[in-house]
Amino acid sequence: MTKLSADGFIREPEPKQPGFAFFNLAFRPMFLLGSAFSVVSILLWVFSFNGYFVFEPYGGSYWWHMHEMLFGFVAAIMAGFLLTAVQTWTQVPSIKGKPLMALVLLWLAGRVLMLFPDIASPVINAIVDSLFLPAAIIALAIPILKVRQWPNLVFVPVLTLMAIANIVMHIQAQTGGAIQQVAYFTVLLITLVMCILGGRVFPMFTANGTQTQRVPSIAWLELFSITSVLLCVLLATGWIPVGETITAVVFIVAGVTNFIRAFRWRIWVTFGTPLVWPLHISYWALSIGLVLVGLAQVVDIITMSQAIHTITVGAMGLMILAMVSRVSLGHTGRNIAVGAVMNFAFILLALSLLVRVLMPSLLSSHYILLMLVAGVMWAVAYTLFVIKYTAILSKPRIDGRPG
């Protein structure tokens, strides 16, 4: 039935979207299930670490914790974000419906097999888990190649390196190889993605959210911020034979450069805007984390665990929570604003960084308990997101548009 629109023209109404929209775009299942999985995985890890139960997942509990937070949680969020953004970039429909459902089931199968390894052989477990990222890469590349939008192909090699790192971690799990180096490499690879995306959108989000003028970028600073982190990624491979001092200098320079970049974005104007200030805090954590990784090379008072968790909890955890909260609202036609519940979640997650990284230096005798407290704080923060956003991510856009 036709109707008279506000501009005076007679138009056909947009088709009504079905009531269940969970597989309309990749951000919906990936954000919700990835966040829920982070709650489960963190709680399993910290409670087993505190000795409440014996936990024997694929690869052992330590391997499982590192692998699942990177290739289970973060990989799902990255896939959801990029497979949604690529539709905006290219104006080519992204993966949805049954193909998206198959991709989600593949991701879920990997999580189940990592948690219950006796279901199948170690080889089958590794193969199934290793298929998710290549499948996501194909889904991401197709729209970009269709319109020959070459600059956005930058994420394809990054995800490919993540896929290779995942395979290497599986090989190390079976051969007893050193697992920390590939995990740290993956953390820094994800840091590079955060660095690229942060520069693209954080100044815009700050200007829009605070109704202030956008800070103009400085070309050399943008380039050096990204290339310095790229150099950190290369050093993390262990293939470049440099000493600890040079490694420390590179990481510290990368951290300071990105801190200058973040400082120019004016964190002080964002504190009244709940969806913006966590992004700034997360980028500060990224910068500080890089500096700490550098210092950990040459001083004993800073541990690599503290440095890496500054990035994983403070940068990844907080940036992801803020971004999925924001993207979920925007892509469902809602006003981009959150209330007290999500603001509390952001604060709680920011505080968990202090409990995980700073407090062990002050209360070393309570280290194990502090890990539990920090883990529970993470779990509560992401549980609040899951509760608040389940309906948002499951129902159609409120403006009736597809997506």
- 150 and 239, same domain (yes or no): no
pLDDT at 5: 41
Are 80 and 224 within one domain?
A: no
What integer pLDDT is reported at residue 6 of this predicted model? 40
Helix axes 122-147 and 75-90, enclosed angle (nearest 10): 20
Domain interval for residue 161: 20-177
- Residue 34 has a pLDDT of 99
Residue with tokens 């200058």: 260
- For residue 11, the surrounding DSSP H or E stretch is strand 10-11
Distances (CA, A) of 21 to 75, 77, 121, 136, 159: 22, 18, 35, 20, 27
Say yes or no: 155 and 235 in one domain. Answer: no
CA dihedral (357, 361, 367, 370) positive or negative: negative
Instruction: Say whether both 133 and 194 belong to one domain.
Output: no
In a domain, 2, yes or no: no
Q: How many other C-beta atoms lie within 10 A of the C-beta of residue 366? A: 13
Query: Helix or strand or coil: residue 10?
Result: strand
Residue 34 lies inside a defined structural domain of this protein: yes
Do 134 and 60 meet the contact criterion of CB atoms below 8 Å apart?
no
**Is residue 32 one of the residues assigned to a domain?**
yes
Q: What is the pLDDT along the chain (403 residues), one digit of tens a residue?
A: 444 444 444 444 444 455 789 999 999 999 999 999 999 999 999 999 998 998 899 999 999 999 999 999 999 999 999 999 999 999 999 999 999 999 999 999 999 999 999 999 999 999 999 999 999 999 999 999 999 998 889 999 999 999 999 999 999 998 887 789 999 999 999 999 999 999 999 999 999 999 999 999 999 999 999 999 999 999 999 888 898 999 999 999 999 999 999 999 999 999 999 999 999 999 999 999 999 999 999 999 999 999 999 999 999 999 999 999 999 999 999 999 999 999 999 999 999 999 999 999 999 999 999 999 999 999 999 999 999 999 999 999 998 888 7
- Are residues 370 and 225 part of one domain? yes
Q: Are 150 and 28 part of one and the same domain? A: yes
Answer whether residue 10 is part of any domain.
no
For residues 362 and 221, membership in a common domain is answered with yes
> Is 311 part of any domain?
yes
Q: How many domains does the chain have?
A: 2
Same structural domain for residues 170 and 244?
no
Please tell me whether residues 222 and 131 are part of one structural domain. Answer: no
Shared domain check, 167 and 61: yes
CB within 8 Å of 48: residues ≥ 6 apart: 54, 55, 61
Q: Is residue 134 part of a domain?
A: yes
**In a shared domain, residues 172 and 29:** yes
